[in-house]
């Protein structure tokens, strides 16, 4: 158990809908990362937050947004969902968001868009 928690475990929704994925980092970690894992694209970095502020952006679509709250938990919002958004979404956390930090991953949220 990495200490990173993600809810919900599974999410089934329809195209065009909006969902929110939640992540709580390990105790003491200030940085949160979001990843999307799909069969065709592999593991793709989406976005990173450090202590409430956006630090780095990856291949995140404009329909997606995220934020990190003062208690350091993070939410990833996915809107206008498409079939291709079906994937596993992972949150990871690290101590300082530093370049050589080890990232610890949560168990993931499996999103199915019908």
> Which chain residues interact with another protein by CB under 8 A?
2, 4, 42-43, 45, 48, 56, 58, 90, 92, 99-100, 102-108
**At its nearest, how many Å lie between another protein and the CB of residue 108?**
5
Task: Return the number of the residue (78 or 92) whose C-beta is nearest another protein.
Answer: 92
**At its nearest, how many Å lie between another protein and the CB of residue 97?**
12
**At its nearest, how many Å lie between another protein and the CB of residue 16?**
28
Contacts of 1 (CB under 8 A, 6+ apart): none
Determine the Cα angle at 84 with ends 36 and 109, to 5°: 40
């Amino acid at each position: 158990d990495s200490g990173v928690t993600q809810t919900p475990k599974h999410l089934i929704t329809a195209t065009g809908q909006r969902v929110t994925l939640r992540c709580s980092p390990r105790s003491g970690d200030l940085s949160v990362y979001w990843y999307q894992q799909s069969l065709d694209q592999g593991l793709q970095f989406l976005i990173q937050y450090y202590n409430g502020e956006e630090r780095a952006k990856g291949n995140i679509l404009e329909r997606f947004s995220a934020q990190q709250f003062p208690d350091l938990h993070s939410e990833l919002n996915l809107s206008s969902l498409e079939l291709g958004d079906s994937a596993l979404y992972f949150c990871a956390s690290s101590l300082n968001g530093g370049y050589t930090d080890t990232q610890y991953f949560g168990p993931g949220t499996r999103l199915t868009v019908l």
